[in-house]
């Protein structure tokens, strides 16, 4: 729901989201709130704020009627009442986990605000989620909605060509992605790390995890803390302390002693 549908269609019909919608993996519908104004002559959708203050407010009626028409269409084709995301700097800050959760929804409606905001009563009536894209203020909700639509769409099965690329990327497991290299093997005197040319997949995976951890610690210490909380380091394997050599036991018996695995505290 927007006052600038061309902003949405113009952007999302390109590149990966465009291809995915052509192929039917996802579909977008930018609905113009102005079309639902009761003001036949001027299609007015905003008015002054009660109590004074600068700027105009988007009125409740056009937004509500616009939503009801979208919801009716969804219900008619057998869908359930959709989640309605109001994109606002007052919302919870969007992240990859939220993108994953939203990607499981059959339908999502985004409400893009403009002017000084939206009449609170319609928000109370229709909004299920208040979501921001960061602690800064933009001129309207279209760009944030597109950011979220892009991040959500690429998690829908079939949208990306290679399922793997959605699995190993940054933010999975609260880690940033490891560094990557392509041909040539040497560029400006910089060589591709030898391990990546080794063909040893296990070693490559270990190296990548190590680099992901290093990079996250360095660039996003906040994320690294989350990673640590969810993946506490395993306690080091304790070696059973060898008792002082018993003069009765031969040195052969002592060296034959096995180390007990204490990983599980056993
Ligand atoms: N509208 C204006 N600024 C915004 C932001 N940072 N996130 C979401 N919606 C917004």
Residue with CA nearest ligand 1 atom 5? 89
pLDDT above 50 for 253? no
Distance CA 127, CA 7 (A): 22
Of 145, 147, 165, 166, give the one whose Cα is nearest residue 155.
Answer: 166
Contact 102, 153 (CB under 8 A): no
Report the range of poorest mean pLDDT among 93-97, 121-125, 169-173, 187-191: 169-173
Distance CA 224, CA 207 (A): 17
pLDDT tens-digit map of 187-196: 999 999 999 9
The values of phi and psi at residue 188, to 5°, are: 50, 40
Cα 222 to ligand 1 centroid, rounded to whole Å:
22
Cα 93 to ligand 1 centroid, rounded to whole Å:
10
Residue with CA nearest ligand 1 atom 9? 88
CATH superfamily of 5-153: SPOUT methyltransferase, trefoil knot domain (3.40.1280.10)
The atom of ligand 1 lying closest to the CA of 131 is 8
Distance CA 203, CA 25 (A): 36
Residue with CA nearest ligand 1 atom 6? 89
Instruction: Delimit the CATH 3.40.1280.10 region(s) of the chain.
Output: 5-153
By most ligand atoms within 8 Å of CB, the mutation choice from 58, 85, 132 for ligand 1 is: 132
pLDDT tens-digit map of 159-184: 998 765 666 678 888 999 999 999 99
Distance CA 210, CA 265 (A): 26
Of 8, 116, 118, give the one whose Cα is nearest residue 63.
Answer: 118
Distance CA 108, CA 13 (A): 18
Structure tokens given for 31 = 């609905």
pLDDT tens-digit map of 134-160: 999 999 999 999 999 999 999 999 999
Cα 91 to ligand 1 centroid, rounded to whole Å:
8
The pLDDT-based confidence of 264 (bands split at 50, 70, 90) is: very low
pLDDT above 50 for 260? no
So what's the pLDDT on residue 170?
80
pLDDT above 80 for 51? yes
Q: Annotate the chain with three-state secondary structure.
A: CECCHHHHHHHHCCHHHHHHHHCCCCCCCCCEHHHHCCCCCCCCCEEECCCCCCCEEECHHHHHHHHHHHHHHHHHCCCCCCEEEEEEEEEEECCHHHHHHHCCCCCEEEEECCCCCECHHHHHHHCCEEEECCCCCCCCCHHHHHHHHHHHHCCCCCCCCCHHHHHCCCCHHHCCCCCCCCCCCEECCEECCHHHHCCCHHHHHHHHHHHHHHHHHHHCHHHHHHHHHHCCCCCCCCCCCCCCCCCCCCHHHHHCCCCCCCCCCC
pLDDT above 50 for 263? no
Cα 143 to ligand 1 centroid, rounded to whole Å:
8
Cα 139 to ligand 1 centroid, rounded to whole Å:
8
pLDDT (average), residues 245-258: 47
Cα 146 to ligand 1 centroid, rounded to whole Å:
11
By most ligand atoms within 8 Å of CB, the mutation choice from 85, 88, 139 for ligand 1 is: 88
Cα 75 to ligand 1 centroid, rounded to whole Å:
29
Q: Supply the pTM of this predicted model.
A: 0.84
Residues with CB under 6 A from ligand 1: 87-89, 132-134, 136-138, 141, 144
Q: Is the peptide bond before 184 cis (omega within 30 degrees of 0)?
A: yes
């Amino acid at each position: 729901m927007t006052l600038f549908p061309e902003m949405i269609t113009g952007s999302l019909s390109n590149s990966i989201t465009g291809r995915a919608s052509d192929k039917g993996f996802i579909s977008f519908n930018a609905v113009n709130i102005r079309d639902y104004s009761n003001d036949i002559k001027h299609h007015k959708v905003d008015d002054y704020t009660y109590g004074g203050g600068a700027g105009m407010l988007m009125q409740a009626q056009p937004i509500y009627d616009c939503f009801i028409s979208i919801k009716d269409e969804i219900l008619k084709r057998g869908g359930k009442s959709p989640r309605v995301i109001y994109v606002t700097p007052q919302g919870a800050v969007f992240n990859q986990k939220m993108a994953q959760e939203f990607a499981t929804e059959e339908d999502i409606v985004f409400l893009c605000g403009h002017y000084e905001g939206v009449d609170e009563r319609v928000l109370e009536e229709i909004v299920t989620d208040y979501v921001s894209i960061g602690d800064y203020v933009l001129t309207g909700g279209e760009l944030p909605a597109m950011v979220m639509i892009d991040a959500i769409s690429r998690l829908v099965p079939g949208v990306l060509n290679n399922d793997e690329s959605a699995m190993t990327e940054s933010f999975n497991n609260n880690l940033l992605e490891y560094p990557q290299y392509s041909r040539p093997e040497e560029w400006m005197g910089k060589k591709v790390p030898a391990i990546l040319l080794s063909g040893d997949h296990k070693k490559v995976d270990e190296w990548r995890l190590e680099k992901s951890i290093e990079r996250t610690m360095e660039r996003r210490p906040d994320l690294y803390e989350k990673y640590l909380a969810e993946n506490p380091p395993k306690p080091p394997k304790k070696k059973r302390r060898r008792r002082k050599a018993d003069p009765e036991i031969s040195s052969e018996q002592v060296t034959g002693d096995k180390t007990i695995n204490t990983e599980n505290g056993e």
